[in-house]
Chains A and B, each alone.
Chain A
Amino acid sequence: MRNLASLLFAGGLAFLLMAIAALLPFGHPPVLAGGAILEQAADQVGAANIVTAVVLGYRGLDTLGEITILFAAAAGLGLVLGRRRAGAPRDPDAGPVLRTGAALMFPLLVLVGFHIILHGHLTPGGGFQGGVILAAAFFLPLLARPGTPVDHPGLSLVEGTAGAVFIVTGLVALLTGGEFLQPLLGTGTLGTLFSAGTLPILYLALGLKVGAELAGLLARLADAETDT
């Protein structure tokens, strides 16, 4: 009975969404804000990747709120899982393939992560994507050897510093007469690495913060005791 009601609900939802979708002119969206942003972003922000211009230039405050949510989730996860007891059993080390692979992949992943973060204003990618790759790089050794100690205070330090850099950059913009988190330092030449003003700095801070946060979060999840 309950399953039947659930299926009816899911079917009704699908019908409702399809009905709404059928009303929309597919492939011809009414581009209002997006069109204006496409036209003005090059002059106002100077980032070749317009998604970056939107994420950091036009709604930087929103992004700050977003990393606050991520921080709250990571803090809540640490709180819920609690501290690991000293003598709790761990999984054994992985086989030689995963261990060698992890050692080989680590520098490559760090390099790719930083590349994606630093080119976030030019090519697809940015702080969030690169940060996730950095977190994966630091989580991989933990998968290969579950006993590897994790430097949680160090991760917190990186995370806190990066968050502070993000907010201070915004406050500097506020002090120099602009809006909070407004891009500074001019727009530079479109498409070069040192363009779009403070956007690369913001994205670097964002990437390090997301990377440190996710690495700590994954380490805590992997480290959680379940067999008590």
Chain B
Amino acid sequence: MMPAGLPFLFYAGAIGLLVIGISGIVLSRNLFRIILALALAEAGANLLLVLAGWHWGGSAPILGQGKALETMVDPVPQALVLTAIVIGVGIQALALALAVRAYRAYGTLDMRRLRNRMNRDIAAAAGIPAESSRDAPAGGRPTPPVPAAHRSGGGRA
């Protein structure tokens, strides 16, 4: 009944998508590609969930079409995947909005440049040399200067 090798192919497809997506997330340097890879990983995870409820010779869980109840696939994973897809759309939209915002602020989507520029900005705001690592012990750092908005708020302390 079970064709040999076919289950391996199904699982390999779903797990392959998931792993390709995760590899893309950890290997890409471009923020937009990371978001695309996230969508790919999500598709793989959804496929894996649907596969978990599927059985050989299964039919869609819809009544009134002359199909026996015993042949229908488990409806619970399908409902779960429906949920997962919708939440995935929300996550992707929010991630894209954050990417747009990062591009607007720093003019690049490249992770390394983004990190360098962010570190430079943070260092400039904190009044420390830009080369110092953010993991360095904080003891030697000078206290950050008081922002101008607070300094000119009248003569009080």
Contacts and interface: CB of A to CB of B under 8 A. Distances in A.
Contacts of A41: 63, 75
A221 B53 contact: no
Contacts of B87: 66, 69-70
Contacts of B76: 33-34, 37, 54
B26 A10 contact: yes
Contact of A53 (B75, B83, B104): B75
Given A48-B63, A81-B101, A214 B78 contact: no
Given A18-B11, A63-B83, A73 B93 contact: yes
Interface in B1-22: 2, 7, 10-12, 15-16, 18-19, 22
A80 interface: yes
Nearest to B52: A29
A3 B27 contact: yes
A67 B93 CA distance: 14
Contacts of A73: 89-91, 93-94
Interface in A202-225: 210, 214, 217, 220-221, 224-225
Nearest to A49: B62
Given A191-B64, A214-B89, A66 B83 contact: yes
B69 interface: yes
A59 to B, nearest CB: 7
A190 B65 CA distance: 11
Contacts, number: 153
Interface stretch (A20-28, A96-104, A137-145, A158-166): A20-28
Contacts of B60: 124
Chain A interface: which size bin?
Answer: 35 or more
Contact of A74 (B27, B63, B93): B93
Interface string B84-112: 01110111011011101101100000000
Nearest to B55: A27
Contact of B63 (A50, A72, A228): A50
A74 B90 contact: yes
B72 interface: yes
B132 interface: no
Interface of B: 2, 7, 10-12, 15-16, 18-19, 22-23, 26-27, 48, 52-56, 60-64, 69, 72-79, 82-83, 85-87, 89-91, 93-94, 96-98, 100-101, 103-104
29 contacts: A6-B26, A7-B23, A7-B27, A10-B23, A14-B19, A18-B15, A21-B11, A21-B15, A26-B7, A27-B2, A27-B54, A33-B76, A35-B74, A38-B69, A39-B69, A42-B63, A48-B62, A49-B62, A62-B83, A66-B86, A66-B87, A69-B87, A69-B90, A73-B93, A74-B90, A80-B98, A123-B62, A124-B60, A221-B93
Q: Which 7 A-B pairs have the closest CB atoms?
A: A73-B90, A34-B74, A26-B7, A6-B26, A54-B79, A50-B61, A191-B64
Given A9-B26, A13-B19, A54-B78, 11 more contacts: A13-B18, A29-B52, A34-B76, A38-B69, A66-B87, A70-B90, A73-B90, A77-B93, A77-B94, A81-B101, A214-B89
